[in-house]
Amino acid sequence: MESVKLPSTVEGIMAKPVITIEASDSVHDTAKLMSKNNVGSIVITQRKKPVGIVTERDIVKRVVAKGVDASKVPIKKVMSKSLTTIQSHMAIVDAIRIMQKQKIRRLLITKNEKLVGIVTQRDLLRALAFHVVISFRPLLETE
């Protein structure tokens, strides 16, 4: 049986680079950038520092459903301001615990105080499931 090296920290599963947009840019520009990069969320920055995050759901609920002109609304009016960041060396299991405790679906990953990645609840659960499958593989294999 070949050995599989499984990532044990969020650095091994994070999405990078982080897609960002300036807080003064419009909701319309943000949606276009999200579509172009095929992502469901985007980090909002001000002077290159993360200040918020916005998801497709935020845009639908706060702009589209209200019939607001997305080209006239700055994304800072729609973003969630609470950001949770963790270090890149944090264990996957610990990241899952943080998400559960804070009831959030995304974590920003930092290394040496610099934003280097993002992980979603789905990324973490997929990695955890992979660990379980690999752990049980020897029991399932027959010779």
Token pair listed for 106: 């995304």
Could you read off the pLDDT of 24-79 as tens digits, one per residue?
Answer: 999 999 999 999 999 999 999 998 899 999 999 999 999 999 999 999 999 999 99
pTM: 0.83
Asked if residue 5 has pLDDT above 90, the reply is no
Q: What is the DSSP string of 63-89?
A: IITTT--TTSSBGGGTSB----EEETT
User: Hey, is 36 helix, strand or coil?
Assistant: helix
**What topology does CATH give the domain 10-140?**
CBS-domain (3.10.580)
Which ranges of the chain would DSSP assign to H, the alpha helix? Answer: 27-37, 56-59, 92-102, 121-140
Could you read off the pLDDT of 64-84 as tens digits, one per residue?
Answer: 999 999 999 999 999 999 899
Could you read off the pLDDT of 84-120 as tens digits, one per residue?
Answer: 999 999 999 999 999 999 999 999 999 998 999 999 9
Delimit the domains of the chain by residue range. Answer: 10-140
Instruction: Report how far apart, in Å, the C-alpha atoms of 79 and of each of 6, 59, 82, 127 are.
Output: 34, 9, 9, 28
